[in-house]
Amino acid sequence: MSYEVPLPMPDRLREKPILNASELHRYLEEQGFKPMVVVVDNNMARVTVYFTEELSNEEKLRLQEAVLEWYRKWIGVEGG
């Protein structure tokens, strides 16, 4: 099962070095998720996270919030 999270402020993403999927993967594991694969598309400003099973609606929301929190920290926009 895959879940796509569009990233806000793609212009800020282009100003930074390439977003590292392995760092995001580790972060999601620290948040309690067990992703199989994390794919970052820097050009399209989106992250796709693959799991072996479908997430509940609550877990989907938590995943999106975790990805966006990590992204905001990475581009230097805390609490945005």
Q: pLDDT tens string for the chain (80 positions)? A: 999 999 988 887 777 667 789 999 999 999 999 999 999 988 888 999 999 999 999 999 999 999 999 998 888 876 54
Residue 79, pLDDT score: 56
Q: What pLDDT score does 44 carry?
A: 87
- 10 Å Cβ neighbour count for 52? 8
CATH number of 2-75: 3.30.70
7 contacts 46 by C-beta, under 8 angstroms? yes
Q: Which residues contact 16 (CB under 8 A, 6 or more apart)?
A: 74, 75
- pTM exceeds 0.75: yes
Query: What are the sequence ranges of the domains in the chain?
Result: 2-75
